[in-house]
Every structure is written in structure tokens, then in C-alpha cells.
Structure 1
């Protein structure tokens, strides 16, 4: 479970969470600020994440709210939570009101965060290798491939899906672990839950029970 949580935590929280802007360089007043590419975003993961955790593991382990706060502060602005939640809802997104979609996005993100946050504390520098990019960037969907090394020496492929938002920023919205999309995986589970209790019922469960609801959804799907 610890290894699985580590992989999922790195996968779900690392992309975009550690976006480090390039050092400013002299430029003409009319020049637009440089925008980090998806590759550059992910390449900053190992050093930035290690710097954020090293020396603070014991403190963060004892104070989960502080750990969640660290994740929210560095990650949330760079993850397209609204777009991801619409994909997770699938066809049910059309049935939901704008307010319900907004509540679902927040409740789902909070549930994921609380479930896998502690896995980040097992992260060590050098455990993620960013692979060379292939082809030109595509504004609608660009993949960044990485390999995550586990404690036993095995490696797992983790790919990050990015899209360019209307303001020109690259944001992560999906993670593919060993060929399995986090969006696709949760979409099937969410679909089953909505069929049973409706969108409002699922949102209320996520808001009230968070990570426990995700655990039950996965157990039901497996059983």
C-alpha cells in the first residue's frame, strides 16, 4: 500500500505542482513572459518536491492539515481541476448544474488529496525520471512521459496529460499509470455511484466523507 500510495501521490500531485518559472532575463517591454512547457514543468518535479519535503517529513506527517496546505499552495493553481472533473463526470456533466459541477470538482480534488497526501512523504529525489519528449506540442493534449522508481528497484511508467488553457498556460489534467488513465478509472466508478444515488447524493458523500467515499467506490468496483 505504501508503494502504491507513493506512485499515486507523485502522479496526482507532482505535475504542475512544482512549476518553477525560468530565471527572468532582460527583454523588451513588449515581450511576453516565457511560459513553461509541460516538459519543463515536470523536469522541475524531482528537485522542487525534494526541497519541499526534505527536513519537514516528521512535521508534515504529524500535521496532515499542514501537508494538505502545502499541496494546495503549490499544486492547485497548476492543475485544471474543472476540466478534469468534467471528464470524470463524463455524460453526467451535462446533467449537473454549474454549481454542482463546481462543488463536485472541489469535493473530488479534496478527496484525492486527503487520500494520497501522505504518500508524498515517501518521495525521494531521483525517484522520478523524465523521458525525452516526442513530437511537437499540441495545445489540446500533450503527454509528458516519466518513470517512477519504487523502493524495490522496479520502475512504473507515469504519463501526464497537459492542455493549454485560454490564458496560454499549460495545465495538467490527467495521469496515466502503466497505461491506466486516472480520469478513465474514476469515471467508471463515478458513473456507477451517480446511477445509484444521483449527482447530488455523490457530491454530498464526497463533501462529508471524502477519502472514505473514494475507498468505498474502488472496493465496490473491484468487488
Structure 2
């Protein structure tokens, strides 16, 4: 395997894991003040999601797709998957028939769940360290910097992309940039030519195929 591809693949998988680690904090019993404070949202790692994964290992081992259910229940309400789905379309958005948008967004949400579950299936216990964030009271969009630290490996730089809902004032994550690689930009590049050549249904079918595949647990998963 190409060494560069191998490194980028590891960065992407680790980034997904750390995104889950950080966003797992949102499923805890947090106050309204916490919900409107992006720094707290990302730093208050109470591991609700991971506690469920640990306590429900028997169910996961007998049915790996049970892990997808945990992610959907504990994590996805706090990720702006619709905004992320539109960002992935980019300039192709206008070319997509409006009647197909709901199916695309719904399938994209499941696509995120599938990818997150794949990442969590091989979680290795990395440490996430955040850079302090200054006053964000008047901001609507925010980038929070962090690093992944793992013994025996170089640090990995992360940028969490968040946006604030104008009505609820809640912050939600919609993208993660790992070592300069945006997860959404990567998907936009991957899907753009497919949309141009085959249309949005081809992208939906690609995601459906991924979503319908049974989750395989890594042999060394903890």
C-alpha cells in the first residue's frame, strides 16, 4: 500500500474516532449553559457513548450493527448532518432535483453513522487536548483547535468546525479537519464527479450500499 495513502487513511480514521470522543460529551446530562458553550461541549468528555459501548459489548459482539444504534441515539442529535450534507454537495446543490434532497440527506446521516461505527470499532484510546477558546458570545461559526496525542506516534492537528443554531443557540459540529484534510471536502471531491456524470441517485446508491453492509469489528478492538 502507498505509504502516503496509508498515513492519510490512519489520520482520517483517527480523526473520526476523536470526533466521536469529543462529541460523546454532548450526550451527557449537560445544562443549557453548557449547550451554548462550544468549549464545554468539546471538553466535557463524560464518555456517555463509550460507557454504553463498554456496557453493551455482549450485544455488540453478537450483533455489531448494535453499535450503529448507540451512535444514532447518543451522538447524531448533536451533529448538524443536514448542513454537512449540503456542504458536501457544494456547487452541485442546484443540479440536484428538489424531490431527491430528503432521501439524500437521510441517507447521508446513515452514511455518517456507518463511518463513525467503523471508526469506533477500532478505537485505540487516544488522548485529545484542546486549545483554549476565547470569548465566542457574538460568533456564529467557530473553529476549535486540538491535537491527538498517542504514545509512540506524532501528534495529529485537528480543527473542529462548529456553527450555532440561530433559534436554539446550540453549537453543533459539522466538519473536522485533520492535518489539513477536511472530511467534508474529501467527500465533496469524491461525490462531485459522480453527480456530474451519473446524477445524485448514483451517490445515494453508493451511500446505501455502504450503509447496508454489516459492520465488521476489528480483531484488536477493545
User: Structure 2-normalised TM-score?
Assistant: 0.76
Partner SS, residue 157 of structure 2 = strand
- Relative distance call for 1:129 and 1:113 in structure 2 (3 A) is same
User: Structure 1-normalised TM-score?
Assistant: 0.76
Number of positions where the alignment pairs a residue of Structure 1 with one of Structure 2: 203
Q: How far, CA to CA, are the matches of 1:139 and 1:52 in structure 2?
A: 34
Aligned to 1:202: 203
Q: How far, CA to CA, are the matches of 1:45 and 1:68 in structure 2?
A: 20
User: Displacement, 1:204?
Assistant: 2.6
1:180 aligns with 2:186: no
> Unmatched 5+ residue regions in structure 2?
1-5, 214-222
Q: How does 1:1-223 map to 2 (within 5 A)?
A: 3-4=10-11, 6-19=13-26, 20-22=28-30, 33-36=32-35, 37-45=37-45, 47-57=47-57, 59-123=59-123, 127-134=127-134, 136-137=136-137, 139-150=139-150, 152-166=152-166, 167-207=168-208, 209-210=209-210
Does the CA contact (< 8 Å) of 2:15 and 2:158 recur in 1? no
Q: CA RMSD in A?
A: 2.9
> Unmatched 5+ residue regions in structure 1?
24-32, 214-223
Partner SS, residue 187 of structure 1 = helix
User: Displacement, 1:177?
Assistant: 0.5
Partner SS, residue 146 of structure 1 = strand
Aligned to 1:28: none
Post-superposition Cα deviations, 1:109-153, rounded to whole Å, max 9, x if no partner, equal 322332341322443556212221145355431112221123533
- Relative distance call for 1:64 and 1:145 in structure 2 (3 A) is same
